[in-house]
Chain A
Amino acid sequence: MLQAEYITKTFKRKHGEVIALDQVSLKIEKGEFIAITGPSGSGKSTLLLALGGMSSPSKGAVLFEKNSVYNWDVNKRAKWRASQIGFVFQSFNLIPYLTVYENVGAGLALAGEKNISDALIIPLLEQMKIADRKDHLPSELSVGQQQRVALARALIKNPNIIFADEPTGNLDPETGKEIMQIITKQHQEGRTVVVITHDPQVAHAAGRIIRIAEGRIVEY
């Protein structure tokens, strides 16, 4: 249902071009749990951004249910991203001046929800075990708690697809495991999950492992 068709992404640099993705084709079925691995600089993050409607490929197309995502105008693409996709990052990417509650609320607001209420947010914060920290700023939280907030922010809008770029990369093994449990649970609840990881154990949890090297898929 989400598909990359021969996508190529090149970046212009001072000294020539960098080919981050080289004619990558990939089909992601609804409800799949996919792990993407590969060496640093191989194009994993670039692929995830392209699939998530964040960065237009130089060539090729990204199709969502047969519609070319980059043929939509920015508005429609933003709305699609807001409603369908939850991003989780290695460096959490919380808004530093917003509290836990507000970070999650911002995720909900940008997904088009007009009435931001405790009833929508608090249960999820409880589920993520950060309800008692709801009025704290991200800088006042441990890294594990920060990633839980990021997860809550991604999940609050109930997205169909979750893209996680090395979500455990900055966490100790124990915390990483907890985070992966939450992500795995999302898959079990029927969501499509794509996780970039260097960790073989994390990759193992996935139904399918895709290996990328030098901008190409080398192994399914």
Chain B
Amino acid sequence: MKIRQIVIKELFQRRNQLISSLIAVSLGIAVMVAIQSITYYSEKAVAGELDALGANVLILAKDATVQDYYSADFQQSEIPEDYVTILAESDIQGIDNMSPKFSLPIDLNGRQATLTGILPKNEFKSKYIWQGALGIFSQPEGCGTPVNIPGVTYAAETTVRRQVIEDLSPLEMLAGADIAKILGIAENDSLVVLGKKFIIIAVLPLTGTVDDGRLFAHLHTVQELAGKSDVLHSIEIVGCCSAISGGLIQKINKLLPDAKVVTITQIVQTQIKTNTVMKRISIILLIVILLVGGASIANYMFSNVQERQREIGIYLALGANQYWIIRMFLMKALIIGISGGIIGYLLGSVLAIILGPQIAGINVLPLPWYAVYSLLISVIIALIASAIPALKAAKVDPSIIMKEI
């Protein structure tokens, strides 16, 4: 008869009284695990979105909004193409990639679409002495968090997005995946836009961004079609993360005082805000769990000690000392804590898997290391809540054993 066996026997024989406090702890842990798991994957989704967006800094006209950038509805919000030269020739460090764009709303047989002008790499080379990598699709390298969202694979498009368009002659065109599908066009087809006949040299793979719905042609061709010259709507910049936090935005602002410089982070701010709220809720929950779960266990333990006074006296008479009695109750607390942690973790993970897609629109997988946190929190709560009852047990007056039942 080891002390552990005695504790387990007692637990099983009187399991009914235990259930409510075990439920309290398990539920608390479960809710927390669920919230944390969903938040975790939702944060990953945000990171993934950031990654998919590519550029992390946008240069727009002062009166343009990020929404305008998305809808390519710039109207008169233009910036001079000279900005590219200014940036390229400046001594600003941390610009990894830069892509100037000019967008034109077009009508394709009654269908609204956007034609975006881009600069191929060779244009940069001939024009500027800029050493950075150039391309139409900017993709952060080395600063985007490696993203792994269940059910979503970024691998293919990421590689494509890294591809820099080397060359683009005035009448060549690239089509986003969605628009190509809608228009029923494929590689080597031709498409007449605003009276000009373009050859589709490539259909871009699906990216999940606004690029999917756009047509791309040479910047200067698009400017010409719009009857403009030397103006842009936006410059997408991939800045190195450390440079961004190191004041890249302010430096660009100084260099281009008439432009609006925004980080993509602002675009996904709402989502980040949701996550912050979730985090706060889970902290509040943690406190509630500590209180409710702890109180429930403490209450159970106090009444358990109360009802086992005679038993404590018997163990003392058999040769146990006070430390043994304390150990017996703490071991019981440990078992409750471990069970609560395990049940809570499993329940919480299941909740997160079921609710994740419904609440946050993301797939959630169980996070194994949360099992460790759950166990730790649950065990610590159980032990703290049982400390005073266990000490009380050690002080039970053993003379109760001489009393008749």
B324 — which chain A residues lie within 8 A by C-beta?
78, 110
Chain A CB within 8 A of B405 CB: yes
Chain B 281-321 per-residue mask, 1 if CB under 8 angstroms from chain A, else 0: 00000000000000000000000000000110111111111
Residues 103-137 of A at the B interface (beta carbon under 8 Å):
105-112, 116
Instruction: Determine the interface band of chain A, counting residues with CB < 8 A from chain B.
Output: 35 or more
Query: How many angstroms from the CA of A82 to the CA of B318 in the assembled complex?
Result: 6
Chain A CB within 8 A of B156 CB: no
Given A54-B316, A82-B318, A97-B13, A165:B402 Cβ within 8 A = yes
Chain A binder among B2-10, B60-68, B144-152, B251-259: B2-10
Asked whether, in the complex, the Cβ of A97 is within 8 Å of the Cβ of B318, the reply is no
Given A109-B1, A109-B2, A55:B318 Cβ within 8 A = no
Q: Can you name 16 A-B residue pairings with CB atoms under 8 Å?
A: A48-B402, A54-B313, A55-B397, A74-B323, A78-B320, A78-B321, A79-B321, A81-B317, A82-B319, A93-B310, A95-B311, A97-B12, A102-B1, A105-B1, A165-B402, A169-B404
Chain A CB within 8 A of B213 CB: no
Q: Which residue of B lies closest to A105 (CB)?
A: B1
Query: How many angstroms from the CA of A95 to the CA of B5 in the assembled complex?
Result: 13
Q: Which residue of B lies closest to A52 (CB)?
A: B317
Q: Residues of B at under 8 Å CB distance from A?
A: 1-2, 5-6, 9-10, 12-14, 310-311, 313-324, 397-399, 401-405
Chain A 21-61 per-residue mask, 1 if CB under 8 angstroms from chain B, else 0: 00000000000000000000000011011001011000000
Q: For chain B, what secondary structure do more than half of its interface residues adopt (helix, strand, loop), or is it mixed? A: helix
Chain B binder among A63-71, A84-92, A181-189, A212-220: A84-92
Asked whether, in the complex, the Cβ of A110 is within 8 Å of the Cβ of B315, the reply is yes
B14 — which chain A residues lie within 8 A by C-beta?
97
Q: Which residue of A lies closest to B402 (CB)?
A: A45
Residue among B1, B10, B398 with most chain A CB within 10 A? B1
Q: Quick one: which of B2, B322, B399 contacts A54, CB cutoff 8 A?
A: B399
Q: Residues of A at under 8 Å CB distance from B?
A: 45-46, 48-49, 52, 54-55, 74-75, 77-79, 81-83, 87, 89-91, 93-98, 102, 105-112, 116, 153, 157, 165, 169-170
Q: Quick one: which of B5, B9, B310, B316 contacts A78, CB cutoff 8 A?
A: B316
Given A97-B14, A109-B2, A79:B319 Cβ within 8 A = yes
Asked whether, in the complex, the Cβ of B6 is within 8 Å of the Cβ of A96, the reply is no
Asked whether, in the complex, the Cβ of B399 is within 8 Å of the Cβ of A81, the reply is no
Q: State how many angstroms separate the Cβ of B403 from the closest Cβ of chain A.
A: 8
Asked whether, in the complex, the Cβ of B1 is within 8 Å of the Cβ of A108, the reply is yes
B320 — which chain A residues lie within 8 A by C-beta?
78, 82, 110
In the A-B complex, the 4 residue pairs with the smallest Cβ-Cβ separation, listed nearest first, are A82-B319, A78-B321, A97-B13, A45-B402
Q: Which residue of A lies closest to B317 (CB)?
A: A87
Q: State how many angstroms separate the Cβ of B321 from the closest Cβ of chain A.
A: 4
Asked whether, in the complex, the Cβ of A97 is within 8 Å of the Cβ of B10, the reply is yes
B323 — which chain A residues lie within 8 A by C-beta?
74-75
Asked whether, in the complex, the Cβ of A107 is within 8 Å of the Cβ of B318, the reply is yes
Q: Quick one: which of A81, A91, A96 contacts B319, CB cutoff 8 A?
A: A81
Query: How many angstroms from the CA of A75 to the CA of B14 in the assembled complex?
Result: 30
Residue among B1, B6, B9, B318 with most chain A CB within 10 A? B318
Query: How many angstroms from the CA of A170 to the CA of B319 in the assembled complex?
Result: 25
A94 — which chain B residues lie within 8 A by C-beta?
314
A78 — which chain B residues lie within 8 A by C-beta?
316, 319-321, 324
Asked whether, in the complex, the Cβ of B1 is within 8 Å of the Cβ of A55, the reply is no
Q: State how many angstroms separate the Cβ of A90 from the closest Cβ of chain B.
A: 6
Query: How many angstroms from the CA of A157 to the CA of B320 in the assembled complex?
Result: 14
Q: State how many angstroms separate the Cβ of B50 from the closest Cβ of chain A.
A: 58
Residue among B319, B322, B403, B404 with most chain A CB within 10 A? B319
Q: State how many angstroms separate the Cβ of B367 from the closest Cβ of chain A.
A: 38
Query: How many angstroms from the CA of A65 to the CA of B53 in the assembled complex?
Result: 88
Query: How many angstroms from the CA of A32 to the CA of B397 in the assembled complex?
Result: 29
Asked whether, in the complex, the Cβ of B321 is within 8 Å of the Cβ of A98, the reply is no
A54 — which chain B residues lie within 8 A by C-beta?
313, 316-317, 398-399
Asked whether, in the complex, the Cβ of A106 is within 8 Å of the Cβ of B399, the reply is no
Query: How many angstroms from the CA of A80 to the CA of B219 in the assembled complex?
Result: 97
A52 — which chain B residues lie within 8 A by C-beta?
317
Residue among B10, B321, B402 with most chain A CB within 10 A? B402
Asked whether, in the complex, the Cβ of A89 is within 8 Å of the Cβ of B401, the reply is yes
Q: State how many angstroms separate the Cβ of B314 from the closest Cβ of chain A.
A: 5
Query: How many angstroms from the CA of A116 to the CA of B9 in the assembled complex?
Result: 17
